[in-house]
Structures are given as C-alpha cells and as structure tokens.
Amino acid sequence: MSESPLPATTSTGAEPGVARRVDAPGPWWRHAVIYQIYPRSFADSDGDGIGDLPGIIARLDHLVELGVDAVWLSPFYPSPQADAGYDVADYRDVDPIFGRLADADQLLAAARSRGLRVIVDLVPNHTSSAHPWFGAALAAGPGGRERSRYVFRDGRGPDGAEPPNDWQSVFGGPAWTRVTEPDGRPGQWYLHLFDTGQPDLNWDHPEVRAEFVDILRYWLDRGVDGFRVDVAHGLVKQADLADWKPQDEPVSGPGTEGPRPPMWDQDGVHEIYQDWRRVLDSYPGERILVAEAWVQPAERLAAYVRPDEMHQAFNFEYLEASWSAPAQYAVITRSLAASAAVGAPTTWVLSNHDVIRHATRLALPIGTPRPRGIGVDDPQPDPVLGLRRARAATLLMLSLPGSAYLYQGEELGLPEHTTLPDESRQDPTWERSGHAERGRDGCRVPIPWEADAPSYGFGPADASWLPQPTLWAEYALDRQRGVPGSTYEVYRTSLRLRRERGLGTGTVYWLESPDGVLYFRNGALRVLTNFGADPVELPEGAELVHASGPLDPDGRVPTDVTVWLRLDEAGED
C-alpha cells in the first residue's frame, strides 16, 4: 500500500493462532473481537458470483491468522433476497445460493475446531413476504386468524385507499402496502418498516413469541454461540400506531429530549429479551445476544444490556461520532459510563454492511452526518486521508476495553466503492427512495483475496454479484500479507497486542494532553491519537510499541495517527 513501512518495533513475528491462546478473565464476550462476515461477499466456492458457506469454510484460516475471537454471519437463510437475506422465508434452513444445512453444520464444526465462536443473525421484526405465515395471512382475509400474526389495518379515507398512518419505510416511501383480498378487491394494508417484502410481525401475538423461542433453540441445539438480533428496537409498536411526523432519521430513536417514535425503542421490547435470556442461560457455555438497536442516548441503549437481557448492543453512537478529540473523548467516556452502570461490556464498531466503510467515511468533512450511500456524481472522499484516519481510528478502538466488531475487508483497508454503476445497485433503498439515496451496496462489494486471480480471488468466476473496482487489486490480501506497515499487518499486530496485554479487560485512565490530542492509559499501555493540525512529540521516556502509521522524520506523531506506547512507571496495571 502507499504507506511506508512502520518502524521495526511494530512488526510481528507471531505465528497464526499462537497469540490466540492467552486467557483473559471473565466470559469471552466481555472482551471479544468479533468479525462480521457478509456471506454474499466473503468468498464464492461455486462460481455463481455470490459468496457461500463452503467459501467461508475455505477461508476460515484467514480469521485465525488475523486473530479474531468470533464471527458473526449475516443471514444465510432461504429468502427471496429482497433485502439481501434480511427477508427470511424459512428460519431453519440455508438458502441454496449459500449452500445446504449440512454446510452450516460443517461451518460451525470447522470454526469450533479452530477456536472461533460463531454467532448468527436473527431477524425477528419481520419475515419475508414469501414466508408461509404471510401467505396464510393473505389467504385468510380481513379478520382471519392468520392475519393477526402481522400488522394489518384498514386504510383511511374514502374506500380505505389511504395508508392507516403516516409512517415511512426506512428505505423510503410509505411503510404500508395495500393487499388484494382473496375476492379480488383492494383490501387492508400491512405494515413494513423496511421493504414491501418484509412485513412486520405482531409481537403481541403469542404464536410469534413461541415461534422465535423455538428458532433460538433450533440454532442453539446446532451449536451456535449466539445471535445478533436485527432491529432489536423495533419489535413492539405503540399500541395506537399514532402518526409520527418527525422522520428525519427514521431508524433511530430520539436524542435526549422529545417524544419517542411510536415504532422504535418501546419499553415492551425488554420482556421479549428477558425471555430469550432465560432460554440462552439454560444452555451450556456462554451463548450471547447482541442487539442491533439504533437507540440514543447511551443510557437508553444500556437498558438492552441489563444483567437479565442481552449481553451486548452495538455502539452506533461511537460509529457516528465525529473525527475530533472532543467528540471521541465524549463518546468514549459516555459509552463506558453507560454500560458500566448496568454491568455490561461496552462495544465498539466502525463499519458494517449498512454504513459507508470507515476508510471512506472518515475522509468526509468533519461533522458530516452519516450519508446514505455515495455515488459517482457525489464529491469523492480522499482515499489516502480516509485510510490514514481509518487506521488511527481502528488502533484507538482496539485499545479500548470491551468487545470490538470488525467488518470484513476493513482489515485490508477497503474503501467504499463510491463509483459503483447505478444500474448494478441492488439495495432496495435506491429504488424505494426514488433514486434519492444510493444505499448500501458500496460497502457490500465482494472482497479481494488475490490481486491476480479472477474476481480478485473472491471466487472462480470473473464477475461477482456487485462489480468490484479495479483498485481492489492493490488492496488484495496477498499484496499485504507479510508486508510490514500494510493495513492487514497493522490489524494483525493490533489484535495480537490487544490480546497479550489484556486491553479488552482493562480500564481507561485519561492522561493530560494538549488540545486536539487524546491520551490515556489502559494497563501498562499508553494510547495517543493526534487529531490536531500539528505533529506532537512522544511523551518523554516513551517507547513506541505500535502505530497506525509512520512517525514523522523527527520522531513525532503526525496528524491522524494513533500510537501505542510503553513508559516505565511503577504501579501501573
């Protein structure tokens, strides 16, 4: 890559897997680094251009070498793929594009034999419209028993031709679609907070609750280590389905003030997770629930990880924080305090399959709200600046106590694909927003393994379901592996040191620093990130342990670089 090699003190001689055996106190999930696999885009074994479970199995050693503790798999269940698998038609099987149920079993076994844990995605807010329950609901007609598992209502206005309320879909357009009744007449409307192919379930219905407990047990019995719970803040709606005008940020809850949206973060969700926690606790081992809940403020999110509920919740406030010392200081301290108040580990995440990759996002002007996709005619963020900040952000994140999430490809420094041709876009956001929002395809492009292979080693075919940019060659794993200072080797070293030094179970002690600089101690390691305009001197007596990028010729920490330091002082632990 374009960065020059780091000083020799940062290079790693660790053998794959060796550093993974260091024990840390407490259950694994309190400090784990969890790697998100987006199955469509990780590795394709059969040449259809879409990633699959055998492809993942064949690449598992990469994750061992990288040094993560666990993987989270985005959905691989049978699905019409209206929302890339987040529209599930059968919760107990594998879609043929991803393989067979036997492949899922083999993947669990192959991961276990390598010491990797596996958590799977659970999508309880909605099913696919191809789920048998939804077919039965349509066939049952208004008032039919099967209809009550979903949220059907009569429309407003003459002939019920207007949606029952003003809610908007997260992907754009109304959150309601009118059905044609069995007698051929226009009839009731059903709620879908996402795509029309994702009807919302009615979580007041006992059959819905019982079904999901059964699905949990089904995968727990197969050996999964836990579940990432999709839209965990959306299952329960305010009973009156009241209109909701302020919809600027439809997937989030409000800030500290103002009314709570009637579709998000209702208090009733918590008893569902308390029930699920009891189920997980009845299984041996430490199985976990992770909330995907776009809820603010941090105190409200912390309610999802009280001792009798979920184990973790994604920290999206952290993901959305500006790249500045005050903003990062504020979000780190607030996150640590909010999770400590309920005895939960804090989590950290910078990228996933729903947001602009952080190697691109961090190059946007500081303070830009998280955009919903970038297209060829938008201003193009500077990739060098983005990668520099991304590496500094990652090193900062991996020095924090708690559990960290990585998204596939970030260990290669992959940027967002910001020039994806519009005609290849698959995210329903693009069509549903009337082409106002590009959507999330740019972070979902299949990842590069080998610079000179077809589809950069993603699979045997030349083409992949989303086209890869030619610059993928320079990011390919085989161009970075063993190259000191490459993004991949920086990640690998960071993960090894994080484990060896117990950073995941440590404590943050803030140290005095000039404006524009964050400086703290975790155990015996000191962490310094320079957000300011000028280089900063290393603290006196400090020895460089690791860095996100090279120091300047005078041995100072340049702008947008994080360093890990050792400073011999008695009494630090």
Catalytic residue positions, numbered: 230, 292
Smaller CB separation from ligand NOJ, 315 or 487: 315
* Using rule CB under 6 A, residue 316 touches ligand NOJ: no
Smaller CB separation from ligand NOJ, 71 or 490: 71
End-to-end C-alpha distance for the chain, whole angstroms: 36
HSE value, Cβ hemisphere, 13 Å, CA-based, for 498: 27
* Using rule CB under 6 A, residue 219 touches ligand NOJ: no
User: Do residues 322 and 514 make contact, with C-beta atoms less than 8 angstroms apart?
Assistant: no
Smaller CB separation from ligand NOJ, 86 or 189: 86
Please identify which residue in 73, 231, 338, 443 interacts with ligand NOJ, judged by CB under 6 A: 231
Q: How crowded is residue 442: how many other Cβ atoms within 10 Å of its Cβ? A: 24
Minimum gap (Å) between residue 121 Cβ and ligand NOJ = 8
CA separation for the pair 455, 470 (Å, rounded): 10
Strand order in the sheet with 509-510: 509-510, 517-522, 525-530, 561-566, 543-547
Minimum gap (Å) between residue 175 Cβ and ligand NOJ = 12
Binding positions for ligand NOJ, 58-97, rule CB under 6 A: 83, 86
Cα separation values, 544 from 7, 306, 406, Å: 9, 39, 25
Minimum gap (Å) between residue 458 Cβ and ligand NOJ = 20
Q: Which residue is nearest to ligand NOJ (CB)?
A: 86
Please identify which residue in 44, 230, 309, 416 interacts with ligand NOJ, judged by CB under 6 A: 230
Minimum gap (Å) between residue 484 Cβ and ligand NOJ = 35
Q: ∠158-164-167 over CA atoms, to 5°?
A: 135
Smaller CB separation from ligand NOJ, 231 or 490: 231
Smaller CB separation from ligand NOJ, 229 or 331: 229
Smaller CB separation from ligand NOJ, 353 or 499: 353
Quick one: which of 320, 343, 345, 342 has its CA closest to 331?
320
* Using rule CB under 6 A, residue 354 touches ligand NOJ: yes
For 215, the 3-state DSSP assignment is helix
CA separation for the pair 111, 137 (Å, rounded): 39
Number of residues that bind ligand NOJ (CB under 6 A): 9
Give the phi and the psi of residue 254 in degrees, each rounded to 5. -80, 175
Minimum gap (Å) between residue 231 Cβ and ligand NOJ = 5
Q: ∠433-438-444 over CA atoms, to 5°?
A: 125
Smaller CB separation from ligand NOJ, 263 or 563: 263
**Please, which residues have CB within 8 angstroms of residue 412's CB and are 6 or more apart in sequence?**
447, 448, 475, 476, 477, 480, 487, 488
Binding positions for ligand NOJ, 260-299, rule CB under 6 A: 292
> Pattern of binders to ligand NOJ over 113-152, x per CB under 6 A?
----------x-----------------------------
> Pattern of binders to ligand NOJ over 167-206, x per CB under 6 A?
---------------------------x------------
Tokens of 83: 């929302």
Binding positions for ligand NOJ, 402-461, rule CB under 6 A: none
| Burial class of residue 555 (count of CB atoms within 10 Å of its CB; 0-12, 13-18, 19+) | exposed
Residues that bind ligand NOJ (CB under 6 A): 83, 86, 123, 194, 230-231, 292, 353-354
